[in-house]
Chain A
Amino acid sequence: MAEEVSRRPYQREVPRVRWFLRHPRYVRYMFREVTCLFIGAYTLVLVAGLGALSQGPAAYQGFLESLASPASILFHVLALGFAAYHSVTWFNLTPKALPLQVGEGFVPDGVIAGAHYAGWGLLSLALLALAGAF
């Protein structure tokens, strides 16, 4: 009988923090995940606005003026981009999580995602109109 081959499996290490830099797919994933920072930060701006609103016209006016600073404008432009990226990635993934079987077939992913995009567009336009943006 042949000699036993000794096993010594080698475990390759995964870099704890920089693993996502190894492939564009993981970079995009991380990008999607950090959209939460901008959405969260914006929500805190909203809460601050509520606070100002609750304190009266002077405080509220001060809040509106602080929004006009260059830093604030930059933040909101970035937040808009990141929030939109969250929306796009979320809507594109929705058909995966909620497949709709109709008879023997499934509703195509594009239709489900498309319906979400349409709803998103309509809702946004409606809110802009209701707020008096145009």
Chain B
Amino acid sequence: MARSNKPIVWGPFAAGGTLTAFLTPVLVLLTLLVALGHAPELFAYERMHAFAGHWLAKLAIAATVFLSLWSTAHRLRITCYDLGIRADTLVATVVYAGALAGTAASVLYLTRI
């Protein structure tokens, strides 16, 4: 039986799952603080622009977006299969393409900051 090529998509999924486990809750909390009117200083336009302007921050943000979207995509693929949607190749193409599109968009925006 041929060896699967799943590792190529699983590697980033595992990395993304780990990253989101550590990072996403605090990011959501920060965003929630903004939503509730207690925006931390970093969220002022000048501060945020300066932060996201740094090349290191851009790299980190792009990586975070990619890994977060990729792990979401992979899990969504598995969940679709679990819920009876057996067109795995189609689902995989859609979800991974979505993750890459989101990443591309974030990279595009970052280049303009």
Contacts and interface: CB of A to CB of B under 8 A. Distances in A.
Contacts of A79: 28
A100 interface: no
Contacts of B105: 47, 50-51
Interface of B: 17-18, 20-43, 45, 48-49, 52, 61, 65, 68-69, 71-73, 75-76, 78-79, 82-84, 102, 105-106, 109-110, 112-113
- Interface residues of A: mostly helix, strand, loop or mixed? helix
Interface of A: 16-17, 20, 30, 33-34, 36-37, 39-40, 42-47, 50-51, 53-55, 57, 60-61, 64, 67-68, 72-73, 76-77, 79-80, 83-84, 86-87, 90-91, 116, 119-120, 123-124, 127-128, 130-133
A36 B75 contact: yes
The 8 closest A-B pairs by CB, nearest first: A132-B41, A40-B72, A36-B75, A16-B84, A124-B26, A54-B112, A90-B21, A131-B42
A43 B61 CA distance: 11
A68 B35 contact: yes
Given A43-B102, A131-B41, A36 B72 contact: yes
Contacts of A45: 31
B32 A37 contact: no
Contacts of A77: 32
A128 B29 contact: yes
Contacts of A34: 79
B22 A119 contact: yes
A53 B49 contact: yes
B41 A53 contact: no
Contacts of A55: 112
A128 B102 CA distance: 26
A50 B72 contact: no
